[in-house]
Amino acid sequence: QNQRIRTQVSDQIVNDDGFVLEDVPHLTNFLPDLPSYPNPLQKSQAYAIVKKTFVSSEDAVAQNIVVQKDTPRGVHFRRAGPREKVYFKSDEVRACIVTCGGLCPGINTVIREIVCGLNYMYGVDNILGIEGGYKGFYSRNTTTLTPKVVNDIHKRGGTFLCTSRGGHDTNKIVDNIQDRGINQVYIIGGDGTQRGAALIYKEVEKRGLPIAVAGIPKTIDNDIAVIDKSFGFDTAVEEAQRAINAAHVEAESVENGVGIVKLMGRYSGFIAMFATLASRDVDCCLIPESPFYLEGRGGLFDFIEQRLKENGHMIIVVAEGAGQEYVAQNMPGVDEKDASGNRLLHDIGLWLTQKIKDHFSKVRKMTINMKYIDPTYMIRAIPSNASDNIYCTLLAQSAVHGAMAGYTGFTVGPVNSRHAYIPIARVTEATNTVKLTDRMWARLLASTNQPSFLNCSDVSQKDNTGAINSMNTNSI
């Protein structure tokens, strides 16, 4: 007979042999008291014909979709969706929304859908916009958000509420939340923002306040752990095609044209990998997870020369975080950080462009035509595409259902294509990176037919946790 055991972090279902069948993180931290009000959606026309309107709080989404024989079924999360009982009375809700960190297509759609979701589904009309990121809580006035105010914002890029880095002062923020009588906090942002959200949640809990804290993960790089994909990623991959096309047209139109396109991806190369797989015009894709080298047999210079001979032109896509070790060698002592404490990256695109130019003019005595394109800000600033818009709507509505039901300290996102409530700590404890040992990278290598750069004895593979490896860069 299976037993349910409550551990510090999760509820575990254990069988007779002590074998953990399921591991469900604690009810994404319920607010004090149980939800007791009937969900207003019971009367909603929109939900009247839905077969199963409400999601049971016992419904779970499995993190590992494939479970092998004699292995635990692993971590499960609460399934997202409206609950039969809600914690807050609609007219007592005072919600706020804040956006932090860098831009990403889709932020405005999420803001819009939180506002519309709260208003249309739950009859909430007291929603505040916190302007300019975390520091806006204590340094700026709030704006009032209504469906009318946010009606068109999804058609614009950027964030309607503005954003910032740095300035996270947990006590000041929670004081402010308390002073303003806010009881639902929606926080849209990347890894740093979610860490900040976890601190706000902890402080709220410490003070015993009935305030729901919900995070909506934002990262264009798709590097957030646990969830299938982050919003804005699809749009970024699509928009990157325009830059790759431009580089291709330029390179193809001249003799020995080499086009380099730098794409986003500080620690993970998903955008570069997917943009390359989508394009067919890319000859070589360089990502942070896969070390590469320039000189010697099987190196990048050799490969460029080979492709120029075969095709007359060559396109390289490089993720911004690729090859940072090499660039750093040329700039010792340069180690700057942004206001949030993130290390500023060296410009691999410019560095690579110069290295290739130097090699072909000085060593190979060959004339090449180099075109370098960095579309980063153009990509980040566009509105989200159709599929991201739909995705943002789901994220926002899930967050609203969760907060209304009294869950707190959670982020929302799809796990194996089912939306779930995930304790914030689970998404901040690791970073999602391209696994070189998975099939997708192999598919890319097969598609571009580029060198894997693994046949150099000097190179030891990066360990995929984002840690810089012990690479011998003498061959550079």
Cβ–Cβ < 8 Å for 428, 198: yes
- Rounded to a whole number of angstroms, the minimum distance from the CB of residue 313 to ligand ATP is 34
CA distances in angstroms from 324 to 94, 160, 319, 430, listed in the order given: 45, 33, 10, 20
- Rounded to a whole number of angstroms, the minimum distance from the CB of residue 137 to Mg ion is 19
- Measure the CA angle with vertex 271, ends 315 and 389; round to 5°: 130
- Rounded to a whole number of angstroms, the minimum distance from the CB of residue 203 to ligand ATP is 11
Cβ–Cβ < 8 Å for 284, 314: yes
Q: Which stretch binds Mg ion (CB under 5 A): 33-41, 103-111, 189-197, 280-288?
A: 189-197
Interface with Mg ion includes 192 (CB under 5 A)?
A: yes
- Measure the CA angle with vertex 439, ends 279 and 229; round to 5°: 70
Cβ–Cβ < 8 Å for 134, 100: yes
Distance (Å, rounded) from C-alpha 164 to C-alpha 162? 7
Distance (Å, rounded) from C-alpha 347 to C-alpha 305? 23
Q: 23, 191, 221, 234: which is the annotated catalytic residue?
A: 221
Question: DSSP of 153-166, one letter per residue?
Answer: GGGSSS-TT---SS
Q: Among the residues of 21-169, which ranges form H helices?
A: 45-48, 107-116, 122, 136-139
Q: Which stretch binds Mg ion (CB under 5 A): 107-115, 191-199, 254-262, 329-337?
A: 191-199
When the beta carbons of 224 and 315 are compared against ligand ATP, the nearer one is 224
Q: Which stretch binds Mg ion (CB under 5 A): 21-29, 173-181, 182-190, 269-277?
A: 182-190
- Rounded to a whole number of angstroms, the minimum distance from the CB of residue 285 to ligand ATP is 21
Main-chain phi, psi angles of 41, to 5 degrees? -65, -20
The partner in contact with residue 340, picked from Mg ion, ligand ATP, none with C-beta cut-offs of 5 to 8 angstroms by kind, is: ligand ATP
Radius of gyration of the chain, Cα coordinates, nearest whole angstrom:
24
Spatial CB neighbours of 192, under 8 Å, sequence gap ≥ 6: 100, 101, 165, 340, 341, 342
How many beta carbons lie within 10 A of that of residue 338, not counting itself?
12
Reply yes or no on whether 221 is catalytic: yes
Distance (Å, rounded) from C-alpha 183 to C-alpha 86? 14
When the beta carbons of 199 and 350 are compared against ligand ATP, the nearer one is 199
Interface with Mg ion includes 191 (CB under 5 A)?
A: yes
When the beta carbons of 368 and 379 are compared against ligand ATP, the nearer one is 379
When the beta carbons of 119 and 431 are compared against Mg ion, the nearer one is 431
**Residue type at 10 in one-letter notation:** S
- Rounded to a whole number of angstroms, the minimum distance from the CB of residue 415 to ligand ATP is 20
When the beta carbons of 343 and 364 are compared against Mg ion, the nearer one is 343
Cβ–Cβ < 8 Å for 406, 30: yes
Interface with Mg ion includes 190 (CB under 5 A)?
A: yes
> Tokens 């067919």 — which residue?
280
The partner in contact with residue 408, picked from Mg ion, ligand ATP, none with C-beta cut-offs of 5 to 8 angstroms by kind, is: none
Interface with Mg ion includes 223 (CB under 5 A)?
A: no
The partner in contact with residue 73, picked from Mg ion, ligand ATP, none with C-beta cut-offs of 5 to 8 angstroms by kind, is: none
- Rounded to a whole number of angstroms, the minimum distance from the CB of residue 167 to ligand ATP is 5
Interface residues with ligand ATP (CB under 6 A) are 100-102, 133-134, 164-168, 189-193, 195-196, 199, 219, 340, 342
The partner in contact with residue 134, picked from ligand ATP, Mg ion, none with C-beta cut-offs of 5 to 8 angstroms by kind, is: ligand ATP
Interface with Mg ion includes 320 (CB under 5 A)?
A: no
Residues that bind Mg ion in the complex, under the rule CB under 5 A: 190-192
Catalogue the active-site residues: 221
